[in-house]
Amino acid sequence: VYPLVQIGPLNLSSSGIMLLLGLFTAQWVLARVARNRGGKELEKQADTCFFAWLLGAVVGARLWYGLLNWDIYGAAPGLFLALQIGGLAWPGALLGGTLAAYLLMRRRGYPLLPLADSAALALPVGQAIASVGLLLSGEAFGVPTTLPWGVELFGATRHPTQLYYALAALLTLAVLVWLARRQPAAGTLAAAYLALSGLALLLVEALRADSLLLPGGIRAAQVFGLALLLLALWWARRGTAQRGG
Amino acid sequence: MSALTVRQWNMLLLAVLVAGSLFIGFTRATPQQSAGAATSASTAAAPTMAADPAPLPNHPAPEFTLTALDGSSVALSELEGQVVLVNVWATWCPPCRAEMPAIQAAYEQHREEGFVVLAVNAGEDSATVAEFMHAYNLTFPALLDPQNRVSAAYAVNVMPSSFFIDRQGYVRSVYRGPLSRSVLDGVVTQLLAEDG
């Protein structure tokens, strides 16, 4: 475990560094993708949306983490505002970020689907990088396993769930790039992203040893993943229904 | 994708909903699993004897004796047989403050099983520390280290720093920077599961 990296006077957790690196990369990829797909105009809009997304993501990620750690956060509500790169959860980030970006797009009259498609191509890149950071700091660790690729963590050989998440993000990206080449209808990439990342959450989260839990031991991220998957399928079904299929 | 009819889509949606829910139910966290315990652990790292003063994993923890807030004197060696978290902190350090509630929760949860927290305050006076402990409702012992002896012995160059010491007095995990709750629970549960 390499939880901390020292850069001069600064001490940053490795997961924090990788999270920031992931965000920067995602922002860069988003700008490039938006430019390729919709020119300078879309690039500018995507950039504005990114900051709205980031703001919503931070709020959502901390709320999700805090509400599911209510025994601690309820007793010390100041933690909701604690300035640290930690105590964050991805489902909350995706939810809060998407909501914030959606509100901004509605308000400014930005084209929803082209921007969502661009974001779908950028998000997995950031997720993959951030997931590797979690492995370095030992967070989001898996349950013990005897499989040969298990990693040594906290005295046991465990599933490298962080790498599974990174791999899932890269696979998602590969599928999306392949889809994008075929010039599908607007919104297809975003729907595919929701379906694939939902499936990844549903499957990989099952191997995590430190999932945030709902009553009864239900893993919150799995419920979120299934909801994403269903939403994407429902979206695709609507497309069929509108064509009168 | 558009090859499916609306009826077929409905079937697919229903099938995914049912299969997904079953999967979630099947893979839900059982109490032992969510605690992150692994029984094979005690064999994994048999600490080797070494008299190295630096807080290296699998080396004996550097000994110290400090005064607690209540005036009693606490020596690390007296706590042999218990799992000890030595947390070096200060009230002026935001990440230190942020991780305290999680440490308190782990302390309450695992105290009965033999988990002790020693919150070694770096260089502040007893009034400041007492006020902080009270304001945050922290019940584990806070030790005063006015001359930063523990910081020196444990090579603390980052605050907070956390050192997990097993029942035999060996440093097993060194964590520099804020602890996340899951890492804290994972390490403590692991060390408690081992024999003394």
How far is A213 from B109, CA to CA, in rounded Å? Answer: 17
| Nearest Cα residue in chain A from B106 | A72
What number of residues does chain B have? 196
Which chain B residues have a beta carbon less than 8 Å from that of A140? 182
Residue B31 half-sphere exposure toward CB, CA atoms < 13 A: 0
Which chain B residues have a beta carbon less than 8 Å from that of A200? none
CB contact under 8 A, B181 and A139: no
Which chain B residues have a beta carbon less than 8 Å from that of A236? 1, 9
Mean pLDDT, residues B174-192: 86
Three-state SS at B117? strand
Task: Choose among A6, A211, A240: nearest Cβ to B9.
Answer: A240
What is the DSSP track for A112-169? HHHHHHHHHHHHHHHHHHHHHHHHHHT-S-B-B--STT-EEETTEEE--HHHHHHHHH
- Check if the beta carbon of residue A146 is closer than 8 Å to that of residue A35: no
- Check if the beta carbon of residue A153 is closer than 8 Å to that of residue A139: no
- Check if the beta carbon of residue A135 is closer than 8 Å to that of residue A151: yes
Mean pLDDT, residues B111-121: 95
Q: Is the peptide bond before A77 cis (omega within 30 degrees of 0)?
A: no
What number of C-beta contacts closer than 8 Å exist between A and B?
Answer: 164
| B161 pLDDT more than 80 | yes
Q: Which residues of chain A have pLDDT under 50?
A: 1, 8-9
Three-state SS at A54? helix
Which pLDDT score is estimated for A24? Answer: 96
Prediction ipTM score: 0.86
| Arithmetic mean of pLDDT over chain B | 83
pLDDT digits (tens, 9 = 90+) for B6-39: 899 999 999 999 999 999 999 998 764 444 443 3
| B51 pLDDT more than 50 | no
- Check if the beta carbon of residue A171 is closer than 8 Å to that of residue A179: no
pLDDT digits (tens, 9 = 90+) for A92-150: 999 999 999 999 999 999 999 999 999 999 999 999 999 998 888 778 888 888 898 88
What pLDDT band is residue B152 in, cutting at 50, 70 and 90? Answer: confident
- Check if the beta carbon of residue B45 is closer than 8 Å to that of residue A155: yes
A positions 49-78 inside 8 Å of B (CB):
69, 71-73, 75-76
How far is A217 from B64, CA to CA, in rounded Å? Answer: 41
What pLDDT band is residue B42 in, cutting at 50, 70 and 90? Answer: very low
CB contact under 8 A, B5 and A245: yes
| Nearest Cα residue in chain A from B19 | A226
Which pLDDT score is estimated for A71? Answer: 82
How far is B68 from B83, CA to CA, in rounded Å? Answer: 19
Mutation test of the interface with chain A: which of B4, B5, B28, choosing the one with the most A Cβ atoms within 10 A? B28
Q: What is the DSSP letter of B163?
A: E
Shortest Cα distance, chain A CAs vs residue B70, angstroms = 25
Which chain B residues have a beta carbon less than 8 Å from that of A66? none
Shortest Cα distance, chain A CAs vs residue B195, angstroms = 13
Three-state SS at B86? strand
pLDDT digits (tens, 9 = 90+) for B72-111: 999 999 999 999 999 999 998 888 888 999 999 999 999 9
A151 touches chain B (CB under 8 A): no
